[in-house]
Amino acid sequence: MHKETPPKVKTGHDKCAEDYDSLSRQFECYNSEIIFGMVFEYVDTGDKLLDLGIGTGFSSFHFQKAGLEIYGLDNSEEMLNICRKKGIFHHLKLFDLNENILPYGDHTFDHVIAVGIFHFFKDLEKFFRESHRILKEEGTFAFTVKDSKTRISSEIDKEYDIAVYGHSDEYIEELIQKYNFNSLKRLKFLTFRDLSKKSFSCFKAYVLMK
């Protein structure tokens, strides 16, 4: 007897995939532009860039326009489908970022970015370790984190019922030192917490070099 395939349970990112780009603009979220502007002086046409949590490609768009070859990982098929329609990528892969090993060989990429995803992970060590491994010498690792006064803070996003984590300068500096990155740039910025635009969250952008 034929068994019906159970419907896929959509994650929070699956649910907002269609509206993600529009919501980012409504929230006046400029973290993608911030990261691009901070990294731009280190990129060359033809460089290979990996976008961790590429989603709809919102954060890779500017790099693709600058002539970079875009690779992306994401655990949302809906997000990746939207990204594919934009035609800005060289290769996309459905991948669970909770895995400890990224699916690429050593010294593969010139740049790795992670924009607007690290606040969904409590422990960032594997991202530092793996980014260092897959980057070429003098490659850049650029990312955003939610700022925290304590080493690692957490709260629940009630709309999507998921944990959101903040990371302190001290915590990030420990990882920078442990994995032998050089810190190039750091910038603090604000984003709206909701569409009422009455409260803010503080984030930080970092650019490191292997």
Residue corresponding to tokens 């007897």: 1
Q: Tell me whether residue 5 is in a domain.
A: no
Q: Which one, of 144, 140, 131, lies nearest residue 33 by Cα?
A: 144
> Residues 134, 108: contact at Cβ < 8 Å?
yes
- Domain assignment present for residue 7? The answer is no
- Kindly state whether residue 146 falls inside one of the protein's structural domains: yes
Question: Is residue 22 a part of any domain in this protein?
Answer: no
Q: Is residue 3 part of a domain?
A: no
The answer to whether residue 131 is domain-embedded is yes
* Structural domain total, the chain: 1
CATH of the domain at 67: 3.40.50.150
The per-residue pLDDT string of the chain (210 residues; one tens digit each, 9 = 90 and over) reads 334 433 444 444 544 545 545 555 655 678 899 999 999 999 999 999 999 999 888 899 999 999 999 999 999 899 899 989 988 899 999 999 999 999 999 999 999 999 999 999 999 999 999 999 999 999 999 999 999 999 999 988 776 678 999 999 999 999 999 999 999 999 999 886 676 767 778 999 999 999
Domain that holds residue 190: 12-17+29-209
Evaluate whether residue 2 is within a structural domain: no
Give burial (CB, 10 Å; 0-12/13-18/19+) of 97.
Answer: middle
pTM exceeding the 0.75 threshold for the entire prediction: yes
